[in-house]
Structure 1
């Protein structure tokens, strides 16, 4: 450790923030990693894996603990609960960490936080789990298929049921396995500043491993670097980190020279900057979002990418704007959604969402589409997209929209599943407004 900073202590504090105080894991993790950037790469990697991994396997870890502990995880003190979870994760998934070290460090942390009276319990349960880790009993796959998938892939059972209802048993297991298969980092070249071949050379000079993506000559998968801000190429805005599935929005939009584009829910601006770059300095992209903070994120990306044909505006997509009527050649509606497609990256979303929240989001999407559809010029198009796999938010909303507004016709749509195109599940529909 460096400067007496305990990586396990940092992970424990983050897990408490996420699981007990409702904070979002990606925000908490980024905040800690930014604060402790001076730590060696190996230690930051340990913090990331331990925190992310514990979140990813939370239901499974609770299942294992409950098999060996008379006090079930739900009844434990919050600090002990999260300490046990991260310790069992190390025992089961981090072979490089000796089980004895895991148990000893857990006892030290319990004592440090004034739970010395529970140190014997922590030590005893963890050592028992370590001895039996290869013989853990899971729900019977034939008798309790839904529960088995829930525990095996740490997915709330109601989401498992929903996926099975929408996509069947086999596809559901494929989706859940894809979420746990790890995520690559894909980037999009800022063609306003450099060519793909130039960026590839620059990244290689920075010691980054670069892999080309078939069919997208402006995108790469990168690995082998320390952290993004350590790369001068990133700080200079030569590329944007974006999942390949998200890049498909601009691919489907196919902007033409001089197009005026409105993106009604644009933050942080990945899709908008992509389209602005494809316009090659022509036209204009008006990127809107609800709050000053979100607009500041867009403005930061506009500046970093050096885009002169793009601007950011604070505007509520649910409030009609008369000045926008028939102004857009392309209207981007990448709307707030349940995020069922990004559960592989944002591990904690699955534990925070409810069935009721899905219904509310589908209604919000309809409200926004109701409000903004007239912004599309006749003969031009609306791109509707979400980062979810939920027919109510995707295909059913498209059918509802076409029935309600028959001047629009569906040109094409696609539901992308995790690892099919990029890491994430994603939905895109292209709707053309008829007339002249």
Structure 2
């Protein structure tokens, strides 16, 4: 590892930014890796793994530290707290690094950050944890399953209580374990340019592992790459980064050639591009989002794709566009949500989300739906989707919408592989669950507007 850059200091900076300022972890990590592109693959992997791993396991890590420290985690200085957190992650989950090295590097970093007087404290806590890791005392699983699951799977107590009430212990355990598993990068082959098998061969020749999705032939998981943006296949627009769950939302939308389509909360544009591609460069997809920054992300992806039947616009989805009323064959409303289905990719969400915020998001979703349904022609289609597994944002919002507006659910089985079909898909909606399905947690429903 290079002497020019202290990679543990970079990890500390990431943790300070996420836990102190509430910045999204995937954005901070992306910016750090972009700034330090010259670092080797091993160093970049270390930064990513320790940063994400520490955030994923932070509730359990704090629980462990509190059993060995005379000062509780919440009362520590933020720098010391995060130095200890990242060190405990390495001690418990990274066997390739000697315990002595983890402790020594943490002490060095403590001194480098100006806390010479606390270096002995850091050293003492970490040495105690090293000796006592096998003797951690956990809450009783039978007496308090929600607290036990919250600690063991590093989830806030209110979330484990909510999911146990909805899904029961077995499915909740599957979901929580999946959040802690490695989340592979999923890509969608641009089949207008290359067949999926050819793309896989090209990536395999570069040492990148490819695993086909069981749900969609254009989708595959990839592992073993270094810098995604540097791959020639990415630059050439031969694939888009997109989870298979959001691809399925496009599949159930089933756009036809020549359709007029609005994707009302589109950034970074993966679903919009897939819609345009399925329409074989006919019709028009209008991909909208709230800010110039988000629309800029869409435009970058459009340019890379080479598609001409798609345009990006800045537009607030809560504001009615009179010119679009009853002009759309299809509206895709993949709306802002709590994001509880993607905790495996964005672990910091669980620390920032609350029941009150979820209620606010539910109100926002209803406000947007109450606006954008106006764009659908009579006989046209509205697809509502979220990346959460919360009933209030999903099924309850769906019931509210159906009771208020002239739409009806439409069976989605024809657009799904047999493995995903069930009682709800026969009605018109699907809830994907991490650990149960090989995808992010995602909800999608297909609604047809009444009339000819």
TM-score (norm 1): 0.98
Q: How does 1:425-436 map to 2 (within 5 A)?
A: 425-436=441-452
CA contact (8 A) 1:409 1:434 kept: no
**Residue 424 in 1 paired to residue 429 in 2?**
no
SS at match of 2:307: coil
For residues 80 and 13 of structure 1, the distance between their equivalents in structure 2, rounded to whole angstroms, comes to 12
CA distance in 2, matches of 1:302, 1:127: 52
- Structure 2: how far apart are the matches of 1:236 and 1:79? 42
Which position in structure 2 is the counterpart of 1:54?
54
Q: Which 10-residue stretch deviates more, 225-234 or 203-212?
A: 203-212
What pairs up with 1:325-404 in 2 under 5 angstroms? 325-404=325-404
User: CA deviation digits over 1:188-214, x for unaligned, max 9?
Assistant: 011232222332232233332222223
1:25-424 → structure 2 map (5 Å cutoff) = 25-411=25-411, 412-424=428-440
- CA shift, 1:256, in A, is 1.2
Aligned residues between the structures: 436
Post-superposition offset of 1:224 = 1.9
1:135 Cα offset (Å): 1.3
In structure 1, what is the Cα distance between the partners aligned to 2:197 and 2:88? 45
Q: CA deviation at 1:238?
A: 0.8
In the aligned structure 2, how far is the partner of 1:308 from the partner of 1:234? 18
Q: Which moved more, 1:30-39 or 1:226-235?
A: 226-235
Deviation, 1:215, is 4.0
Q: What is the TM-score with the length of structure 2 in the denominator?
A: 0.94
User: Deviation at 1:423?
Assistant: 3.3
Give the match for residue 8 of structure 2: 8
| 4+ long deviations beyond 3 Å | 406-411, 419-423
Report the secondary structure of 2:323's partner residue.
helix
Gap runs ≥5 in structure 2 = 412-427
Q: Deviations over 1:379-412 (max 9, x none)?
A: 1210000000111100011111011114434541
Measure, in 2, the Cα distance between the counterparts of 1:287 and 1:229: 23
Structure 1 gaps of 5+ residues are none
Task: Answer yes or no: is the 8 Å Cα contact 1:382–1:431 preserved in 2.
Answer: yes
Q: State the alpha-carbon separation in 2 of the partners of residues 197 and 126 from structure 1.
A: 49
